[in-house]
Structure 1
Amino acid sequence: MKQITTEIIVDEDNQQLELFGTPMFPCKAYYSDVNKFVTGDISWHWHEEIEVILVESGSIHLYLDDSDFILNEGDAVFINSNVLHYIKSHKSDKCTLNTLVFNKSLIAGGVQSVFEQNFVNPIVQNKNLNTVIFYKYTTWGKEAKDYIHKAFVEFEESKFGYEMLVREYLSHMWYVMLKNIQDLNLNKKSINNLNSDRIKSMLSFIHKNYNKQITLNDISKSVNLSERECLRCFKSTLGISPIQYILKYRVSIAVKMLSESKDSITVISDTVGFDSPSYFSKIFKRFIGTTPSQYRKKSTF
């Protein structure tokens, strides 16, 4: 059955910590209401698996490490392996997504098979192809997104033999995508690959040290950049400054502690790296919309 998700759990490198299916059937389906995520968005993360998303209602703003897109109801997107991405709703009170995350082996078959070598690896191993958008107003885009929808429905219903149908529909989606991007220069070098590596390293440093009083200088030194270049790289890729990201990350950790522990707000404030409970409360309300004490009361019901 599909899984309703309201939070993305990542490790210190922002890699999503999740078992996507089983070794026998490496695929998982998610139904998500973006506005019901704790922070109101799906935070920056990445995973080895491939992800396809169909916007069921509303619209989303999808950010990658080198670009961003607006996707409306009925549009879909393919996100390649190991691509850093972030999603928030776009001008909508309700924004729901149907998502499938799967390992390439689901459609590639055995190692060094003709499917893997000729059709799957040319996409998955191409570091310059982060995403493919399936717009509903294009013939092939509609065809690809319809296959995603069919795969999601089969997974949701989980009737006898659904695994075969999910694999079949995702293979059809892959074929449509591959056939229609042949005119793209997939060997073109991207200047953003270096930025992506830098961002992943900086996020790793922040996640290891978020509870300390780290500065822009500390972050820039972790990747041997000047403060100015560090700031530019961060803002051009993630859209916010390193310091704003640190604050938001601290708040996300605090949210879990408020829900899962009985520690006092003062203790939580200190644990996640804030100088004072009053400043913690101010920043928490900025991101979550309520004070820490109000959030804790709500989460106990």
Structure 2
Amino acid sequence: MQIKNFMVDKSLKELTKHHTVVLPFACYETTIKQNINSYIPLHWHDEFQFVHVVKGEAIFQINEENIFVQEGEGLFINSGCLHMAKDRNDSDCTYICLNVSPSFVLSQELYTTFVKPYYQATNIPFLFLDPKELWANSILCYILKINEMIKQNSPFYEIDVSLHLTLIWKNLIMNGIELEYEQSVVVKSNRMKQMLNWIHLHFSEKILLDDIARAGQLSRSECCRYFNRILKTTPLNYVTDYRIQKSLILLQQPESNVTEVAFQVGFNSTSYFIDKFRKSMNLTPLAYKKLKIPELL
């Protein structure tokens, strides 16, 4: 199942329910360019995420780092970490995404000792799954098996999935990484999420740099450093990009027009909206609207 327009709340926490009727996990194939934004926007969730790239190549950003992942490779993305993904070299990148609640990977009796320390560790926002490493290759193989089990929907497949998740976690913690916890890292992450949350609540209003900095309890200069370090952009450029993201859904409504959409998402000038939209999407808002609603032609 491809999630083409997953919803996030105001703090960028993904709202997609990552579970089946019975179990707290989800496994689906994602083709990056099929997302409404043509990339996977920045978001986070409580679940662990395992990624196995089965076609093409992509750049994943996880917190402050960019990671190149190509066919046959994968990632473990820790709970609560901001992440996004973009196709690389028009490769039509597709990956299997396995999301699982931390409380489900092992039994309750083992959770405190073997799971909780890992999602609390501040030095493991992600792990690269290199198929040349035995432990990582095992995880990648188990992801493929789980995906097939879910597709086949055979009797008692949930039990088999549960067993494979246990083996995935065993291989993950067998690699011997030393766990670290720094309160300052947690504080920085929370401040970033607070600023993003404020922007997503107020994107349709007039926004000043002072407003964003205040939301993160930071000075203007420190606020800019946070955005530059983590998102590789300025706070106000992020606001513009987010407004354009929000406009995509509105433009696909047959009754909408470009001027109305511009003001709905916080632009105070239609011409400025058109200019920024063209630079971001390589076409005008009206051309995008006609592309998505062919009957308007």
% identity of equivalent residues: 27
Counterparts of 1:243 and 1:237 in 2: how far apart (Å)? 14
Q: Which residue of 1 aligns with 2:272?
A: 279
* Among candidates 87, 106, 109, match of residue 108 of structure 1: 106
Q: Is the 8 A contact 2:213 2:220 kept in 1?
A: yes
Q: Which residue of 2 aligns with 1:221?
A: 214
Provide structure 2 residue ranges, at least 5 long, that are not aligned to the other structure.
none
Counterparts of 2:282 and 2:185 in 1: how far apart (Å)? 34
Once the 2 structures are TM-superposed, how far is the Cα of residue 68 of structure 1 from its aligned partner?
2.5
For each residue in 1:188-237, what CA deviation from the matched residue of structure 2 results, as whole angstroms up to 9, or x when unmatched?
53753332111101101101111112122221122221211111111101
Letter in 1 for 2:112: Q
Q: Is the 8 A contact 2:121 2:181 kept in 1?
A: no
Is 1:157 the counterpart of 2:155? The answer is no
For each residue in 1:26-82, what CA deviation from the matched residue of structure 2 results, as whole angstroms up to 9, or x when unmatched?
111221111222222211111111111111111121112242311111111111111
Is 1:53 the counterpart of 2:51? The answer is yes
Letter in 2 for 1:176: N
How many residue pairs match? The answer is 294
Is 1:65 the counterpart of 2:78? The answer is no
Q: TM-score, normalised by structure 2?
A: 0.92
Counterparts of 2:234 and 2:190 in 1: how far apart (Å)? 17
Counterparts of 1:29 and 1:300 in 2: how far apart (Å)? 31
Q: Is the 8 A contact 1:35 1:93 kept in 2?
A: no
Q: Which residue of 1 aligns with 2:262?
A: 269
Letter in 1 for 2:167: H
Is 1:86 the counterpart of 2:81? The answer is no
Is 1:130 the counterpart of 2:130? The answer is no
Q: Is the 8 A contact 1:65 1:192 kept in 2?
A: no
For each residue in 1:67-121, what CA deviation from the matched residue of structure 2 results, as whole angstroms up to 9, or x when unmatched?
2311111111111111111111223331111101121233223xxx332122222
Is 1:97 the counterpart of 2:79? The answer is no
Q: Is the 8 A contact 1:50 1:81 kept in 2?
A: yes
Letter in 2 for 1:115: L
Give secondary structure in 1 for the equivalent of 2:279: helix
Q: Is the 8 A contact 1:77 1:132 kept in 2?
A: yes
Give secondary structure in 2 for the equivalent of 1:14: coil
Once the 2 structures are TM-superposed, how far is the Cα of residue 22 of structure 1 from its aligned partner?
4.1
Give secondary structure in 1 for the equivalent of 2:193: helix
Q: Which residue of 1 aligns with 2:42?
A: 44
Q: Which residue of 2 aligns with 1:117?
A: 112
CA RMSD of aligned residues (A): 1.8
Q: TM-score, normalised by structure 1?
A: 0.91
Is 1:243 the counterpart of 2:236? The answer is yes
Is 1:289 the counterpart of 2:282? The answer is yes
